[in-house]
A and B are shown apart, each in its own frame.
Chain A
Amino acid sequence: MIDWGAIFGNAAVELISPTTAAYALAALGLAIHFGYTGLLNFGQAGFMALGAYGYAISILTFGFPVWGAVLVGIGASVVFAIVLGVPTLRLRADYLAIVTIAAAEIVRLLFTTNTFNSVTGSANGLSGYKTEFAALNPIPDGTYGFGPFEYNAYDWWLRIVAWSVVILACLLTWQLMRSPWGRVIKGIREDEDAVRALGKNVYSYKMQSLILGGVFGTLAGMIFALPRAVVPSNYQTSLTFFIYAILLLGGAATILGPVIGSMIFWVLLSFFSGFIARAVEAGWLPFMSSIQAGQLRFILVGVAIMLIVVFRPQGIFGNKKELAFVK
């Protein structure tokens, strides 16, 4: 018989997992880019890779403290954003899309190539950079929590830090988007020439948006790296597309959309993979090998997201009224 309790328990765990937090933060960065400013950044995976590698290399190769490693990651993504933005932000929107998708792949391939193996670990990636972060943990050793949410002190520490960063990023974005700065940003999304005609330096605002959303992506990359190893194949273009799916699911120009979108995405993914694995075991899907079944979960998540989008095309938190005017 299928153990529904375990399936639901494992799915519920994803609600507060650090990976969910990382995807939420990366999607919030894309909300700033795409939802609020109208910038088509298809290289969010590149920003995440810079965060993960920037952090890991700083600690492993240079022996930096945690705060130093975080600053290195942020610095790398600011430089990356400027390099991407300077040539493209004066041009039509689609140039940024092309350049970001290519640049993110270049970043990933640079981390994959054997040339820098001693620093990047090439295709095998990096691990063993967690002790510094664990050393900051104020929680006494032991196991805490209830039901499926029972973790040791390190796992709680990681979750608390990850979600604190997400909450702070949400509050910052919320405050920005209700300020005159956010008004200019949203104006640029609607028609940048009109905003220019009103005396705003559109190029500078687009750059600020690209940097801010990119830094969110970088912080997300660090959070994503802490529960696992840094492996270059994690930062493929498909990662960017998953984050876009999360963003559109939650609502592109919203604060909570990316967070709830990420929770739904990971809970559904865990639920379906648990369900399918057990259904195969129980002989419910005799026509499938377990490898085929492993792929099936993505199909089911896709279908679930499609259903949500069909019934709430503006995303879960999106404003229905806005949709009436989409050209």
Chain B
Amino acid sequence: MSSNIVPTSKPVKSTGLHIGAAEPGCAKRDPILVADKVSRSFGGLKAVDVDHLEVPRGAITALIGPNGAGKTTLFNLLTGFDKPDTGTWTFEGRSLGGVPAYKVARMGQVRTFQLTKALGLLTVMDNMLLGAKGQDGESLVKSVLPFLWRGQETANEAKALELLTRFKLDTKKNDYAASLSGGQRKLLEMARALMSDPTLVMLDEPMAGVNPALTQSLLDHVLNLKSEGMSVLFVEHDMHMVRHIADWVVVMAEGRVVAEGDPYEVMQNQAVIDAYLGKHHDEDLGEDTENVEAMKELLDDEL
């Protein structure tokens, strides 16, 4: 199903992102996000235990790993939606420890969610406008004086319409977001995140549950982010897609970063093969057949 998806334009891969050997926690030439000793446990389970991780600027980085590897939990920690037990991390050189989620977003590090959060009973346009930063009309006092924010609102509407057109949602702008299909909601969530002109976009499984016809355009949109100068960190299960668009791949398993590298080399890494097929092969198979199959498929490809 997914194997026939090829980006319309052949993506230009960024190379030379790292310094030294491509190993877990390796230094990047120009990191936008740096995490140190970040850990989070749920009861006895260590969901995230990342010793060191650098996310390169101006590139598309894929975060992969079997279900339950801690990818979403790491996203939550880095964006202020969850508090780590230990660790520090910086975004554009500024420490983000203890910074609430809304401030993280204002700094230019925006995220989407694995389970889509379209605001159902708001129109598609209102969803978009909510994404814009620094709106005067969002203050309780100024909101009752429309002349203070009309101009800004008109500008935001124009910008939203442009994005919606790009994401082919412009005809739906006056519909409730609840009336969109699952894939369209993913698109809307991504477009909405772009309203704030972010510098780092973090997408948690942007393609999950999206019908193949839309996957194509989602891929192109992710590639576009990079060409517009944004950095992207995304979680994805579909290895083919990761290989097509990612410049760099970080592999997590059981809360740790077990491998890093460019998308072609990292798949050959023994630690990665172990993570998907290896040590817990029998247990994992039940809940994670999709990953295992994708991995097998991919290894077949390579050989």
Contact = CB atoms under 8 A, between A and B. Distances in A.
Are these two chains actual partners, yes or no? yes
Contact of B101 (A181, A197, A212): A197
Given A196-B105, A197-B101, A197-B102, 15 more contacts: A180-B137, A181-B137, A181-B139, A183-B129, A183-B130, A186-B119, A186-B122, A193-B81, A193-B113, A194-B113, A194-B117, A194-B189, A197-B81, A200-B102, A322-B121
Given A196-B105, A198-B192, A190 B133 contact: no
Nearest to A253: B121
Interface stretch (A7-15, A119-127, A171-179): A171-179
A227 B196 CA distance: 52
- What are the 3 closest A-B residue pairs judged by CB atoms, nearest first? A180-B137, A181-B143, A194-B117
A187 interface: yes
Contacts of A199: 102-103, 105-106, 110, 133, 196
B121 A325 contact: yes
A158 interface: no
Contacts of B133: 199
Interface string B101-124: 111011000111100011111100
A97 interface: no
A182 B178 CA distance: 19
Given A194-B117, A198-B130, A199-B133, A175 B143 contact: yes
B21 interface: no
Contacts of A208: 140
B178 to A, nearest CB: 4
A91 to B, nearest CB: 15
Interface residues of B, number: 42
A175 B145 CA distance: 9
Given A175-B143, A181-B143, A198 B196 contact: yes
**Interface-centre pick from A190, A197, A201, A321 (highest chain B CB count, 10 A):** A197
Contacts of B100: 196, 201
Interface of B: 79, 81, 100-103, 105-106, 110-113, 117-122, 126, 129-131, 133, 135-140, 143-144, 146, 149, 153, 176, 178-179, 189, 192-193, 195-196
B126 A325 contact: no
A191 interface: yes
Contacts, number: 108
Contacts of B192: 198
Contacts of B179: 325
Contacts of B106: 199
Contacts of B137: 179-181
A60 interface: no
Contacts of B118: 194
A179 to B, nearest CB: 4
A169 interface: no
Given A181-B138, A187-B119, A176 B143 contact: yes
A183 B110 contact: no
A319 to B, nearest CB: 9
A184 interface: yes
28 contacts: A175-B143, A176-B143, A179-B137, A179-B143, A180-B149, A181-B137, A181-B143, A186-B122, A187-B130, A190-B120, A190-B121, A191-B119, A193-B81, A194-B113, A194-B118, A195-B119, A196-B100, A196-B105, A197-B81, A197-B102, A197-B113, A198-B102, A198-B195, A199-B196, A200-B130, A201-B100, A201-B102, A325-B178
